[in-house]
Amino acid sequence: MKKDWKYYLGLSLFIYSFLPISIVAILPFMGMTLGQSGAFAVVFLVSAEIAFMTAAALLGKEFLAALKKRVMAIFKRTHVPRPVSRIRHRIGVAFLVVSTLPYYAALVYLLFFSHKETAITFLAWAMVAGEAAFIAGLFLLGGEFWERLKHLFDWPGNQLGEVGSAA
């Protein structure tokens, strides 16, 4: 794997993407108002999700395969690559879709309903669960999905039949 600026930026974003989960877990104990803590949690967790997706695109399949191999080594079992089944793919996509729901629920609640401390704490934990569902969904989708996600950020250039260079 080539260790250029993409690698270091991707690694930094990957590490950052796990920080908001721990921060949001202690948010109810920081003495902020309910509105402040809710807004902070939403913005912070959304930034973590964007950072994780960007890191996945920048680091690519090789890094994620190496990471998966190291995690599997911790559990003392060898990883044998298998193609992702249709059911596993559907479950992974469902996890990705479900992971977005807590953010919208929190925004709707904060805008239209009363702000009780217990409800805000529940919403913060729901957002943490949404983040975990997002990460689990990406890992369930496997290496082929990672590669497709990485190509989402590639400029197609002459692959689409363009002639010459763009400005």
> What b/e string do you get for 59-77 counting C-beta neighbours within 10 Å, with b at 16 or more?
bbbebbeeebeeeeeeeee
Percentage of residues of the chain with pLDDT beyond 90: 1
Among the listed residues 102, 70, 84, the one whose alpha carbon sits nearest the alpha carbon of residue 139: 84
The answer to whether 132 and 21 have CB atoms below 8 angstroms apart is yes
Every domain of the chain and the residues it spans: 5-152
Q: What is the mean pLDDT of residues 34-61?
A: 85
In tens, the pLDDT along 141-165 reads 887 787 777 777 777 766 655 555 5
The answer to whether 146 and 60 have CB atoms below 8 angstroms apart is yes
Confidence of residue 77 (pLDDT cuts 50, 70, 90): low
In tens, the pLDDT along 105-148 reads 877 877 777 667 667 777 777 888 888 899 888 888 887 787 77
Copy the structure tokens of residue 48. 């973590």
